[in-house]
Structure 1
Amino acid sequence: MKRVLLFLVLFFCVRSVLSEPIALPELHRRVTDLTGTLRSEEISSLEEKLKNLEERKGSQVAILVLPTTGEETIEQYSIRLAEKWKVGRKSVADGVIFLVAKNDRKMRFEVGRGLEGALPDVLCKRIQIEYVRPLFKEGKYYEGIEIGIEKIIGLIEGEPLPEPTHTTFHETSRGKIGLTGYFLLLVGVGIFVGIFFRRMFSFIKAGAAAGIGYWAGGLLGISFWTMLPILIVFFVILLVLYSTWNSGMGGGSSWGSWGGYGGGSSWGSSSGGDSGWSGGGGDFGGGGSSSDW
């Protein structure tokens, strides 16, 4: 009797572990391949297409290739993924996830609420069956994903969506960055040079940094009288900063005390991997289509 009870306990424990949902991957880029199916140049090509779409229309499209969704159906896994990644703009909900479960031989387009008109279930199913499935059956996964993405992009292009917003700074005229820009340039140059003169007297360090700033300003064609008040303020700020640094570090600190070298840390220690792309807060309601091959 004890053996039977022990067996039942072990059975339910194992079953519980096996039925645990597969962990969702983090979103760091537009194309995530957990199977090693796609070559690096193929991933780059797909990401370039999706990046160009986002710049033109604002819509975000992500691709995930994974071995299996486990005990979950691809629909269950896909909606969990969509709720975590939140691909698409928050106010527009114009995100799409192309999910491929390679070992399960299943695929799904998870469509954001804002694109359900442009990408209705029937069109998603048609793209999968007529274009993607034949290529997947031949083992041509990149070609299948590429044509599926191209069809999705084509439908999104025809949808009237709000214009994308760009926060990246673009120079409108070469060399015309304004007085504030010049001042920030001088500060940056001065601080950089000041690091290399840290063991010198504070007065000499500040003067040297200001001198470098004056030289840089001269190369940019700024007049002396325009730069003079900036340099005076710049000199005083650096003098105070360097004095503070020296007093706080005992006047004899080394590179290691900055934490950049010799202090057990490195330049990339806090980056946490490639986190240059993320979802914009998109919303999903289960729209899309699933197919096998």
Structure 2
Amino acid sequence: MAPAGFRARPASGGRARRRGTLVRVSLTRAARLAALPLPLVAVLFVETSVAQVALPPRADRSVHDVAGVLSNQAVDTMERLHGALFAQTGVAIVVVTMPSLEGEPAADFALRIAEAWQPGRAGEDRGVVVVIALEERELFIATGYGVEGFLPDGRVGAIRDFARPALSQNDFSTGLLQISQALTAVSAAEFNVTIDGATLSTVAAAGQRRPRDDGRGGIVGLLVMLGMGFLLFRHPSLFFLLMFSGMGGGYGHRGAGGFGGGGFGGGGGFGGFGGGGFGGGGAGGSF
């Protein structure tokens, strides 16, 4: 018999049962806690999908100034450059300004534009989509499959960097015109054509030719440097060619998937929509 006041320890089986109960309770609570975030994730996913900004209606022009920040002169100049480039090379450049993307990354919005509008001809895939979002202060330049050879991510990134000072000062007309001129010039040089207002095509072609060494390299080099200095002084926008004329890929955005289809949409106006395919190439960032 146990002395009075003495409480016997529970048998080991009791301890095991209580421990088992505690373990089961802990596992049940853990399972409940683990299950709680799942509805929240679903709600967040739905809210994110719902918050996706609607695409603007596509018109038969290359510049869609939804934000209303571009001057008439800048729009007219870009329309002329893009129209001439598409007519001679099949490269279709589209510029879209948005007041806000409601938090959607500019890269995603640009690819949605590309998928819905399909700039460029089917089978050639020479489309370029330039998107700028004012509230997010973000830019992205998306490139189609057919232009990635001469507009790799690194080169597109250099063009973006060239326009960033103007964009950061809210001079959107100048910044987007610089981007359009650069894209037009590089594309024109690739196809050996000349576009008025994008004289970089001539400079780009000359920069790819190596002069013969005939013993007068020093004098020729000096004359070339003086000529380039004068040219850059008269046309400051030409300097960016020196930054990206030799760049390949290296940075930007790469996504999965691709899209295209449909036939070429001709007719009046820009006429540059009708089946261009994109795969996520390009470059962007904040300004």
TM-score of the two chains, using structure 2 as the length reference: 0.55
The one-letter code matched in structure 1 to 2:274 is G
State the 1:108 CA deviation: 0.7
* Secondary structure of the corresponding residue to residue 190 of structure 2: coil
After superposition, the C-alpha distances for 1:87-106 in whole angstroms (9 at most, x for unaligned) are 01111100101111111111
Q: 1:278 to 1:156 in 2, by over 3 A?
A: closer
Q: Which residue of 2 aligns with 1:22?
A: 53
State the 1:17 CA deviation: 7.8
Q: Which residue of 2 aligns with 1:236?
A: none
Q: Which residue of 2 aligns with 1:99?
A: 131
State the 1:153 CA deviation: 1.0
Q: 1:135 to 1:276 in 2, by over 3 A?
A: closer
In structure 1, distance between residues paired with 2:93 and 2:284: 17
For structure 2, which runs of at least 5 residues remain unmatched after alignment?
Answer: 1-38, 193-267
Q: 1:17 to 1:107 in 2, by over 3 A?
A: closer
Assess if the C-alpha contact under 8 Å between 2:110 and 2:130 holds in 1: no
The one-letter code matched in structure 1 to 2:173 is Y
Q: Which residue of 2 aligns with 1:132?
A: 163
Q: Which residue of 2 aligns with 1:152?
A: 183
Assess if the C-alpha contact under 8 Å between 1:24 and 1:81 holds in 2: yes
After superposition, the C-alpha distances for 1:91-149 in whole angstroms (9 at most, x for unaligned) are 110010111111111101110000001110011111111x1101111221111111111
After superposition, the C-alpha distances for 1:225-264 in whole angstroms (9 at most, x for unaligned) are xxxxxxxxxxxxxxxxxxxxxxxxxxxxxxxxxxxxxxxx
Q: Which residue of 2 aligns with 1:142?
A: 173
Assess if the C-alpha contact under 8 Å between 1:88 and 1:282 holds in 2: yes
List aligned pairs for 1:38-57, cutoff 5 A: 38-57=70-89
Q: Which residue of 2 aligns with 1:219?
A: none
State the 1:41 CA deviation: 3.0
RMSD, matched Cα: 2.8
In structure 1, distance between residues paired with 2:50 and 2:105: 12
The one-letter code matched in structure 1 to 2:277 is D
For structure 1, which runs of at least 5 residues remain unmatched after alignment?
Answer: 1-7, 162-273
Assess if the C-alpha contact under 8 Å between 2:74 and 2:174 holds in 1: no
In structure 2, distance between residues paired with 1:92 and 1:126: 24
The one-letter code matched in structure 1 to 2:77 is S
List aligned pairs for 1:125-204, cutoff 5 A: 125-129=157-161, 131-160=162-191
* Secondary structure of the corresponding residue to residue 32 of structure 1: strand
* Secondary structure of the corresponding residue to residue 154 of structure 2: helix
Greater shift in the superposed pair: 78-87 or 50-59: 50-59
After TM superposition, which residue ranges in structure 1, 4 or more long, deviate above 4 angstroms?
none
Q: Which residue of 1 aligns with 2:275?
A: 281
State the 1:67 CA deviation: 1.3
Larger relative contact order (CA 8 Å, sep ≥ 6): 1
* Secondary structure of the corresponding residue to residue 82 of structure 1: helix
State the 1:19 CA deviation: 4.2
Q: Which residue of 1 aligns with 2:65?
A: 33
State the 1:20 CA deviation: 2.6
* Secondary structure of the corresponding residue to residue 52 of structure 2: coil
List aligned pairs for 1:203-214, cutoff 5 A: none
Identity of aligned residues (%): 25
In structure 2, distance between residues paired with 1:121 and 1:48: 25
State the 1:16 CA deviation: 2.6
Is 1:59 paired with 2:53? no
Among 80, 104, 129, the residue aligned to 1:72: 104
Assess if the C-alpha contact under 8 Å between 1:27 and 1:277 holds in 2: no
In structure 2, distance between residues paired with 1:17 and 1:124: 29
Q: Which residue of 2 aligns with 1:292?
A: 286
State the 1:286 CA deviation: 0.3
Assess if the C-alpha contact under 8 Å between 2:121 and 2:272 holds in 1: no
Assess if the C-alpha contact under 8 Å between 1:85 and 1:278 holds in 2: no
State the 1:40 CA deviation: 2.5
